């Protein structure tokens, strides 16, 4: 039986923490779909097509990973992709409480969809896209937080704005 999992997020931009979870999940499941959410309410710096391209770039070495941009309910994406598992990263107790609520909502909407939580590696436990953008906005190096190409794209985007 082949198991497809979805790792959803805004990925604005994708960080080494996200990539670590994707790589780990790719060893656990037959196929990983990275679902890049449109998330207009979050007012992302990068548009959806750019975030998909960034994510495709950093995951290109993983043969069982596909990247898809989506809008709407995550459970609808899971149904369309025949995914039975959601992978969610949790760094803090606050993350867990929020993710636990989402898992219960998703289960009520799609009873066959399971959620698993992965803790970040210690070196990425503090990392978030928001922190990466703030460091970059204030002229700090983000080289140890994101892929080199992502860092360059982030700097270009900030220089445009």
Known catalytic residue at 129: yes
Known catalytic residue at 91: yes
Q: Which of 26, 51, 88, 129 is catalytic?
A: 129
Known catalytic residue at 18: yes
Q: In the 8-state DSSP scheme, what is residue 58?
A: H
Q: Which of 31, 91, 107, 157 is catalytic?
A: 91
Q: Which of 18, 51, 110, 133 is catalytic?
A: 18
CA dihedral 29, 81, 44, 107 (to 10 degrees): -80
Residue bearing tokens 């959410």: 37
- Angle, CA 68 vertex, CA 104 and CA 152 arms, to 5°: 110
Q: Which of 42, 121, 123, 137 is catalytic?
A: 42
| Pick from 104, 40, 113, 101: nearest CA to 75 | 113
Please identify every residue annotated as catalytic.
Answer: 18, 42, 91, 129
């Amino acid at each position: 039986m082949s198991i497809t999992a979805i790792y959803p997020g805004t990925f604005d931009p994708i960080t080494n923490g996200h990539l670590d979870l994707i790589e780990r999940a790719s060893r656990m499941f037959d196929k990983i779909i990275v679902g890049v959410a449109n998330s207009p309410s979050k007012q992302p710096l990068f548009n959806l097509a750019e975030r998909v391209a960034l994510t495709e770039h950093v995951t290109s070495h993983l043969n069982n990973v596909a990247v898809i941009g989506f809008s709407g309910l995550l459970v609808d994406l899971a149904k369309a992709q025949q995914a039975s598992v959601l992978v969610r990263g949790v760094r803090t107790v606050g993350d867990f409480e929020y993710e636990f609520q989402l898992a219960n909502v998703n289960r009520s909407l799609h009873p066959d969809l399971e959620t698993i939580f992965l803790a970040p590696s210690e070196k990425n436990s503090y990392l978030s896209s928001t922190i990466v953008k703030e460091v970059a906005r204030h002229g700090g190096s983000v080289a140890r937080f994101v892929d080199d190409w992502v860092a360059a794209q982030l700097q270009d985007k900030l220089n445009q704005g």
